[in-house]
Every structure is written in C-alpha cells, then in structure tokens.
Structure 1
Amino acid sequence: MNPGPSQPPPASPHEPPASPAPVRTSRVLWAVLAGLYVLAFPYHPGLRSPNELCRLWQTRALVEYGTLDINQALRDYGYVGDLSVKDGKYYPSKAPLMSFAAVPLYAVLRAAGGGFRYAVPEVPLVFFSRLLLTILPTLAMLWGVRRFLNAYVSPPVADGVTVTYGLGSLAYSYSLLFMSHQATAVLLFGGFYALWRCARGEWRERGYAVAGAFAGATVAAEYTGALGVLGLVLYAALSLLWRPEPLRVRLALLGRAAGLATLGALPFVATLMLYHQAAFGHPLASGYKYLNDAAYQPWHLGGFLGIRYPDPRAFLLSFFSPLRGLFTLSPFLLLALPGLLLMRREGRASREWRTLCWLSAALLAGYTYFTSSFSYDSWGWTTGPRHLTGLVPFLLLPVALVLERLRAGRHPWLLGGAAAVCAVSILITGVLTLINYIPDLVSSALLSLALPLLKAGYLTPTVLSFWGIPQPLAGAPLLLALLALAGWTFVRLGSPEHAWPPRAVLAGGALMAVLLLGAQVPGAAHHAGDQESLRLLKAVWLTPPGKAVSFWPAPPR
C-alpha cells in the first residue's frame, strides 16, 4: 500500500466527463446523515438531566444575573444535579467552556422570546444548545474525518468508516446531548487535523498555534481531555523529531512549534485558571474538589484525581458490558486492534505511518488505563463509557486500514464479516442513541430497554413532533433512515464500485450479524430492574404515543 496520500490519476483530455451520479449519491447520503443528527431530540425534562442542565443554568446565571454561581438560577428555574459548592455558592462541577459557549445563544433566544427572565423555556434552550454546540461541530468534524481517511484508503472505505463513526459510535450519542464528551472529541480531532496538515507540509507553521488553541479549548471543555492532549503532544514531537533534517534543524522546528502551540493554548488555559480562582479559590482547584453530592466524592479521591491502579472489573465492564461496553455497542472498533499491527508494519518504511501508529496506540493505552482505573459506576445513565468518546476518532484509521486490506484481498467471507460489524454497530448504537438515557438497573441496553420501548411506541422525540406529527409517525423516519444507512454501509464496504456484494460477502456478513446480535441475548436478564427502568422512562417520555408537545410553551406567570 502506498503510505502517502492517495491521488487519482490525471484525466485524459479525451476521456468523457465523469458521471454526476456519485456526486448526487454523496449529497443524498450526507443529507440523510445530517437529518439523523438534526431531527432527533432524545430529551425528557422530567429526568432533569444534570450533566446538561447544570451547564445551562450557569449560562442563565451569566446572562440573567452576571454571576458565575448559580444560586439564583436554582431558585428561579429549579434544582439540578452535578453541582459543586464553595462558601455557600453553587457551581457546575464540570469544566466551564460549554457553559460560556452557550451565552451568546441564550442571549439571542432571550431577546427573541421577549427579553425577560423566563423568556427561554427549557426545551428550546436544550435543543438549540445541542444543535449549535454539539451537533453542527460534529457534522463539520465528519467532513474532516472523511478527508483524513481518504488520504490513506479508497473513497468507499473512507465513506463507510466515516458513516459508521457518525452513527455507530459514541460520536452520535454525545452529539445529541449537551455534554462535553463529543465536544472534546471534536476539539481533539481539530487539534490533530492541524498537526497532521503541518506534518505533511500542507500548512505553514502557524498551524501549530491553531492546534494549541484546540488543545487549550479541550481542557477547558473537559478536564480528562488533557489525556488526549498528551497524545497530540507526542504525535507533534515525533513528527518533527523523525524528520530527515539535521538534529539542530529538528530541535529548532520543535521549539518554534512548541512556542506557537503554547501561544494558541494560552487564552483558554489562562481563562480556565481565572475561573477556578474566582469560583474555588485557587487556579488549579476544580469543581470536583467541592462536589455537593457526598455519594460522588469517593470517585475522585485517592490516586490522581480518582485515577488509581487498574481494576479488572472496570476494564471488562467498560469494554464488554451488555449495558454500556464500548466494544459491545460499537463492535467495529475491535477492527482497530489488528489495524494497529498493520500500521506498525507500514511504519517500517514510512515515517508518516509510524507517527500515526504511535498516536493511536498511545491514546488507546492511555484511555484504557484511565477507564480501567477510574470508578466504572461513575459512567451511569449514559450510552457507552462516555469518557472514552475522545479516543474513538483515533481508532478510525486502523479500522479503515483493515477494511482496505480485506477489500483488496481474497477472503470475501472476512470482508463480509468486517462490513457487517460496521452495519451492526450503526444499528445498535444508533437505536440506543435515540433513547440516550440508559439507567444503571438495566441488564441489556438493547434488548431489555430500547426494543421494549420501541415496541410500545415510545420512539425518540423529533423535530417532527413539534410540528404536530404524533408518534410513532414522527420517530419512524429516523429508524428507517438508520436502517437504510446501515445497509448502505455494508454494501459500500463489501462490494466493488457500483456493484452488489458477491455471495460470499453476503454470507459472511449474514453470519457475523447473527453472531453479534445473538451475543446480546445472554446479557438480557429481563429482571425487576428492567421493568422499573421501562416504567420510569415511559412516565417521563417527552412524546409518548398520541401526545402532542409544544416546543416553546408559554412562560409561567
């Protein structure tokens, strides 16, 4: 395989122009993908989503009262969780970037709603905050992911892996929540993309300042994002130190790159430290030191910020639990393991592949250690292990490399199985994302929660619901689109250009799909916790069957 960017051969002036059909197909594909992001709105006010609302309550406080603390917001808009308390003042326990980023949006919504304190209801505030600050950035990131992958693998593989990442991984789950996890993944990938373009000589040195800005914003959005930033530092250092120039030149380049990156990160890091000083009395003291809920405090005690020695239980459940294991919900990521071996082999002859291999391997090792040494129970009520969201983009190239090799090889059964792994990932994670609130009491997220809710007509709330279309009609198009894109991904990855997959590919794919979906069955206990969780979600469901819902209800008197 050519380790450099794949460039199409120059077209002959006598050749006919290419057919516009692939362009039209691509546009339809990305329109359907964007619709699955923009139209879905899995939110239920009755759950009082603490991770989202504590940030938005600080946004309200900044605009309405000009304060960092949210004491008055709690009195005016209701109590929320995930708080820290210092000297009687309450703050979100999270890093502050998302709260501050929503301020201009809230100000515009407030003006549009009449300009008074209760002008912005909760539902439109959550919807537009997700749309502008987590959904649209992820859609932009998918363009960058596709362009990055297309430099190393064929367009069908780049397309298929990008769609699988967009719908079959934690990227989809946390784009549809106003949390920092997918925002952190977007920022980390943005920083990597800048470093990658600089390493290839496609950007000038000022690109390191861009990478530094992304890195600084990452830490300001999520403290654990510092782990991903360390991986980017390693990648930048290796890509410069392994250049063929003399050592003196390489060290000079490294020094300039470090200086530019520091300048880019400085505004975000300095602002974060000023926030810590104002809220918690010290520039290095975060809200996790002053958690309001005593039950959460043990998770962050001992070791370094709660990170201790690895625990086999935390490792196994984080990756293989039927409730929220990373590989259980997104089995296509298992392809990254043999993919790293292929990258290592490519790295023997290519400095570029070697640095990319080190980046992916280092981040996989670092995030694995983190999730194995932190309390597994702290991931609760989420789709998948949420703090691994920043890792996933850096496993895509090894996954794509495996698929590329299988497409070029002589093992159609294996190719069919690998393509099916991607399609099944879209089905499992996509369906769970349309629920997106997974109680800890559930035995199997797919079989014991998602499917029973769907059978009972409790489909995800959508924008169509706000236009008066009742359930299940409002949610059915999203499920159909999800099924269609899962099938498209299998065909795209498992067939030659503009042809149907061969029989052996279809047989291998069918067998793998049966095995993966069958593996979900043993985890489904159907015990009392499952029934209790179903009753709870049905009781708070925003758009139950036959019920109309208002997007912008009248404010309270």
Structure 2
Amino acid sequence: MSAAPHPTPPSSGPAPAAPTAGPAPLRAPGLPRAVWATVAALYVLLFPYHPGLRSPNELCRLWQTRALVEDGTLEINRALRDYGPVGDLSVMNGKYYPSKAPLLSFAAVPVYAALRAVGGGHRYAVPEVPLVFFSRLVLTVLPTLLLLWLVRRFLRAWLSPTVADAVTVTYALGSLAFSYSLLFMSHQTTAVLLFAGFYALWRLSRGEWRERGYVVAGACAGATVAAEYTGALGVLGLILYAALTLLGTQAPWSARLQRLGRATGLSFLGALPFVAALMLYHQATFGHPLETGYKHLNDAAYQPWHLGGFLGIRTPDPRAFLLSFFSPLRGLFTLSPFLLLALPGLGLLKRQGRTSPEARALFWLTAVTLAGYTYFTSSFTYDSWGWTTGPRHLTGLVPFLLLPAGLVLERLREAGRPWLSGIAAMLCAASVLVTGLATFVNYIPDDVSTPVLALARPLLQAGYHPPNVLAFLGLPTALAGALLLAALVGVAACVFLALGRDAAGRPAPPLAWAAGLVTLALLGGAQAAFTRDDTADQNAVRFLQSVWLQPPGRAATPFWPRAGS
C-alpha cells in the first residue's frame, strides 16, 4: 500500500472520499517518542487496585472466569464459597452469575489458565492481585494501546501531525480511556471495539481495504454488544455511517444497493458468532435468549434502576443530564474539559460535509452517537454509576469526539490567535492532569465533593501513592509514586507546548502562555470552590487509606503471596 501525501489542511476540506492512498505515514513529525513511551509506561506500571474494596464490577467477571476454568460451569456458586463474596450478581434458580454481559469473563479464560499453570495448576494457584493485574494488562491495557495507534492514524489523515498526536495523547491520559483501561470493566473494551469497527468501515469507504473488511466491522459490532449491552448505541452509529458511505458514492443506484447488500451480509457474518453466543449464554443462564442478568439482580436495592422503559432507560431527566456532563465530581466535561472543543468542532465538520461525502458521513456518525449516548445518560439513573471515575457508560462515546475537537485546535493554530490557542491547549493539558490524578485513585466514592482536591490531593500528601509495578519490584512507594506523578505532569506540559505553537511551528508566544495559565487558574478555582473538605470527604480519604494496597509505612500486600500466606 502506497504512502499518503500530507493531509489537506482542515480549512480546505478533508481528503476525497475514496483516495487510493492510505493514511499519512507515522514517521511524519509529531510528538517525541519519549512522550509515547511515557504514556505506555503509565498504562503498564499503574495498578490502582485495593483488594479490601472487593471491586464488584471486576471480581464478578473474574469469579466466572475461575468457574469456567476450574468447574466448567457458568454459575459461580463454588467460586463465591472458595474465593469470597462479590457484588454485581444475578440469581436464577439458586445459581449465581455476574449481572454483566459475558465477553470479558470468557476472554479472561486463557489468561487465568496460563496463570494457573504457572502457579502450580491447583485450585488456589492464582491469588487475586496477579489475576486482576494480568487480566487488566492483557484485556484492557494492551487493547487500548492498540486503539491509540488506530486513533493516531485516523486523526493524521485529517489533522497536522502535531495536533493529531496531541489529541491522541490527551485522549490517552486525559479521558475516561485512561481510567477504564486500568479497571477490568467493559467500558473501555466497548470503546476499543467500537472504534476498531469504525476504523474498518472508514478504510473500506476510502477504498483502502477489500470488501471482506466488512466481516471485521461486523465482528467488532457483535463483540461490542457481547461486552456491554449499552454498546448497541454506538453500533447504531456505525450502521448509519456504513450506510452513508455506501450510498453516498457517485455510482448508479443499482450498484450502490448491491454493494450495500453485500456489505450487510458480510457484516452479519462477522457479528453472528458473537450474537449467537450471547443469546446461547442468556438461554443457559436466565432461561431466554433475550433475557439479561439485569432482570434477575441479586440485590433488590438495585432492581428499580433497571425497571421501567427499556432496561431502565426512560425519559430524560435534567438532573441526570447535568450531573453526567458537568458534575464537579464526575462530569464528563469537568474531568475532560478538552472535549468541550468537540461541540464547535461538529459545526466545522458539518461545514466540510457540504463538499465532502466523507466529512458528511463522519458528521452524522458523531452527531448521532453523541445524541444516543446523551439520551441514555440523561434517561438512566445517575446514582447507579457507583464508585467510578466519571460517567462510565459514556466511555464508548469519547473516541468519536476527538476529530471535532482536533479540527477546532487546528483552526485556532491556523487563525493566528494565540490567546485562543493558549486556552484550547490548556484545556487539553488540564484534562491530562485532572483525569490522570483521578485515575491514580480510580475508586471515587459517591459522596466526595471533587475527585482531585478532595480525594487525590490529601491521599498523595499523606503518602498514599497509586499502587504500581515499580513498588512491587522493590522501589520505595514514595519514589515510585513521585516518578509516576512527574511523568503525568511532564506529558501535560508537552501537550500544552505542542498545541501552543502556531502553524509554522514557532513556540507559544507570551499571550498564549498567559491565556493558558489563566485558564488553568479558573479550572483550579472551580474545583476549589466545589471542594467541601467536610466529614464526607475526610471519611472517604480515611476509608481508602485503610484499604490501600501499598500504604506508606506499612507492609503492603505482596504481588503473588506464597501458598498459605
């Protein structure tokens, strides 16, 4: 496949709908390799996990993994007796199952089987900490690092290398992608699968992949629903995008319809194994192929959240909307303010769609996906999000907001308005700082006022640094934590410096620095204004200190305890 020329500047419109060349080569100038290495190191080394919390969303899946390997069963009754109780369960005829979609439970089977063999092959061979660590590493961390590569390739076809790289890095450390890659939950898995499916459709629409690539897109869509039921919202956006790219060509209508029919058949072929397996799982566990675990929750207190409407999705609630996007504790735009740039960016993308079918399809994909996820988060019970970083069910939406945000950043650099560029650049850098520090904790109690100033700051000041691999290898926890914190701050600074430059590559002028620092002060002031430092905040800090995996001045939980310890 031949290399593509440098992408057309966004102000002049995107590349044609079906060029013969591929995305811009990754050797084009962009952020230094050291930045990418730092991002990868933060993903691999950080391990925010505390066994004392009994993380229900993670452990219920892994208990089913244990049951599949050790007992050959879907129900986890014996695993609950042998390894301890967990939450997020469904019960049917006295048998317990995770209430979640099952893909991650099954995907972790080879990971657990390999660890079990290393540990001696007996029933209790794999302690909890290495099971969680390696399951995250293989199934949520490494796939996200692959996703970053796909995101970068896609953005470089539309944006300059500097902006494309900076947006990708901001997504990596300044969005829900970072938080949920470091948790064994399905939310970032959904984002990976959705964007991988989109990437396949995008390459197909440009004539760069053969038609059988629709099997890949279909497989990603089917796996998405098997990983997380609400991922169907994103799948609907992909279906719309595929239809627009197939029907928006200059070919005769008969040829377009024929291609649409072939694409539909190939996509269905790819999705079928996952959809069929999911329905068989529902039949075996809950007695009907369309019956999910949310109909049989073990905890009666959670049942009302999933009653009424469709799986608990009702009419929109203004409170749920406002808190999902603007809550001081876990609002999407509070944790990742750079995503606010995507809103005017949609206008830029729509304008380009007047002359480019590719841009028009991307606009409708983004707008419909944003509308679908907004309706869901506004119509579901906000209080059900749990001890999480941000509105977790919006994780699958975030990758599709990156191009519109990048278009705004590109336009500001070209317009020669350093004060606006400084503001936008600081929104990206602040996203890395805020979401990064929240992810250092990653289990955010519901009654805390703010994630950084009320929780992460007092924990760090007391010496409670995020659990990490360096400390497991023997490095003092304070030194290991300081290195990780310095890495996060360093990446945020690199993002600001890169985006503060003008289109000619000249360093950020004083006006951009001033605007950026004022923006940072305003964001920090808003966090400070909402930080209560009351009894609830203090109790949350004390509780997390009591269960911290690598506490200062006390013996930490070993990574792989010896048998009997």
Common fold by TM > 0.5: yes
Structure 1 position 4 matched with structure 2 position 14: yes
C-alpha separation in 1, matches of 2:32 and 2:175 = 21
C-alpha separation in 2, matches of 1:474 and 1:516 = 28
Structure 2: which amino acid aligns with 1:136?
A: L
Equivalence for 1:554 = 562
Structure 1 position 449 matched with structure 2 position 455: yes
8 Å contact kept, 1:471–1:546: no
**Within 5 A, what are the aligned runs for 1:218-367?**
218-367=224-373
**Deviation of the 1:432 alpha carbon:** 0.3
C-alpha separation in 1, matches of 2:66 and 2:74 = 10
**Within 5 A, what are the aligned runs for 1:162-201?**
162-201=168-207
C-alpha separation in 2, matches of 1:434 and 1:173 = 8
Structure 1: which amino acid aligns with 2:234?
A: G
Q: Which shows bigger deviation, 305-314 or 490-499?
A: 490-499
Which of 493, 497, 502 is 2:509 aligned to?
Answer: 502
**Within 5 A, what are the aligned runs for 1:13-162?**
26-162=32-168
Q: Which shows bigger deviation, 97-106 or 526-535?
A: 526-535
C-alpha separation in 1, matches of 2:413 and 2:29 = 20
Which of 512, 522, 539 is 1:515 aligned to?
Answer: 522
Equivalence for 1:530 = 537
Q: 1:554 to 1:217 in 2, by over 3 A?
A: same
Equivalence for 2:20 = none
C-alpha separation in 2, matches of 1:393 and 1:400 = 11
Structure 1: which amino acid aligns with 2:375?
A: Y
**Deviation of the 1:2 alpha carbon:** 3.7
What TM-score do the two structures reach when normalised by structure 1?
0.96
8 Å contact kept, 1:209–1:261: yes
Partner of 1:81, secondary structure, is: coil
8 Å contact kept, 1:470–1:548: no
**Deviation of the 1:514 alpha carbon:** 1.1
What TM-score do the two structures reach when normalised by structure 2?
0.95
8 Å contact kept, 1:165–1:171: yes
What does the per-residue CA deviation read over 1:190-237, in whole Å, with 9 as the maximum and x for residues that have no partner? Answer: 000000000111111111110000000000000000010000000000
**Deviation of the 1:498 alpha carbon:** 5.5
Q: 1:388 to 1:315 in 2, by over 3 A?
A: same
8 Å contact kept, 2:14–2:352: no
Partner of 1:283, secondary structure, is: coil
Equivalence for 2:388 = 382
Equivalence for 1:393 = 399
**Deviation of the 1:518 alpha carbon:** 1.2
What does the per-residue CA deviation read over 1:293-323, in whole Å, with 9 as the maximum and x for residues that have no partner? Answer: 0011000000111000000000010001111
Structure 1 position 541 matched with structure 2 position 541: no
**Deviation of the 1:52 alpha carbon:** 0.3
What does the per-residue CA deviation read over 1:344-369, in whole Å, with 9 as the maximum and x for residues that have no partner? Answer: 11111111100000010111111000
8 Å contact kept, 2:67–2:76: yes
**Deviation of the 1:4 alpha carbon:** 3.2
Structure 1: which amino acid aligns with 2:325?
A: F
C-alpha separation in 2, matches of 1:546 and 1:355 = 56
8 Å contact kept, 1:417–1:505: yes
**Deviation of the 1:500 alpha carbon:** 2.3
Equivalence for 1:423 = 429
C-alpha separation in 1, matches of 2:145 and 2:319 = 35
C-alpha separation in 2, matches of 1:2 and 1:206 = 32
**Deviation of the 1:27 alpha carbon:** 2.3
8 Å contact kept, 2:29–2:161: no
Equivalence for 1:14 = none
What does the per-residue CA deviation read over 1:524-557, in whole Å, with 9 as the maximum and x for residues that have no partner? Answer: 1112111111111000000111334311001338
C-alpha separation in 2, matches of 1:276 and 1:556 = 38
Partner of 1:178, secondary structure, is: coil
Equivalence for 2:417 = 411
Structure 1: which amino acid aligns with 2:536?
A: G
**Deviation of the 1:418 alpha carbon:** 0.2
Q: Which runs of 5+ in 2 are unaligned?
A: 1-10, 17-26
8 Å contact kept, 1:169–1:330: yes
C-alpha separation in 1, matches of 2:279 and 2:43 = 34
Partner of 2:477, secondary structure, is: coil
8 Å contact kept, 1:442–1:533: yes
8 Å contact kept, 2:112–2:131: yes
8 Å contact kept, 2:386–2:446: yes
Equivalence for 2:21 = none
C-alpha separation in 2, matches of 1:365 and 1:36 = 32
**Deviation of the 1:420 alpha carbon:** 0.3
C-alpha separation in 2, matches of 1:152 and 1:469 = 43
Q: Which runs of 5+ in 1 are unaligned?
A: 7-19
8 Å contact kept, 2:418–2:508: no
Structure 1: which amino acid aligns with 2:13?
A: P
8 Å contact kept, 1:465–1:548: no
Structure 2: which amino acid aligns with 1:163?
A: V
Counting matched residue pairs gives: 543
8 Å contact kept, 2:463–2:478: yes
Structure 1 position 485 matched with structure 2 position 495: no
Q: Which shows bigger deviation, 429-438 or 527-536?
A: 527-536
8 Å contact kept, 2:14–2:158: yes
Partner of 1:461, secondary structure, is: coil
C-alpha separation in 2, matches of 1:233 and 1:206 = 16
Q: Which shows bigger deviation, 171-180 or 505-514?
A: 505-514
Partner of 2:300, secondary structure, is: coil
**Deviation of the 1:511 alpha carbon:** 1.3
**Deviation of the 1:5 alpha carbon:** 4.0
**Deviation of the 1:465 alpha carbon:** 1.1
8 Å contact kept, 2:29–2:162: no
Q: Which shows bigger deviation, 545-554 or 500-509?
A: 545-554
C-alpha separation in 1, matches of 2:66 and 2:366 = 39
C-alpha separation in 1, matches of 2:289 and 2:143 = 29
C-alpha separation in 1, matches of 2:215 and 2:172 = 28
Q: Which shows bigger deviation, 425-434 or 521-530?
A: 521-530
Q: Once superposed, what is the RMSD of the aligned Cα atoms?
A: 1.3
Q: Which shows bigger deviation, 55-64 or 238-247?
A: 238-247
C-alpha separation in 1, matches of 2:185 and 2:46 = 16
C-alpha separation in 2, matches of 1:347 and 1:168 = 29
8 Å contact kept, 1:231–1:363: yes
8 Å contact kept, 1:470–1:547: no
Q: Which shows bigger deviation, 462-471 or 478-487?
A: 462-471
Partner of 2:90, secondary structure, is: strand
Partner of 1:522, secondary structure, is: helix
Structure 1 position 471 matched with structure 2 position 477: yes
**Deviation of the 1:26 alpha carbon:** 3.0
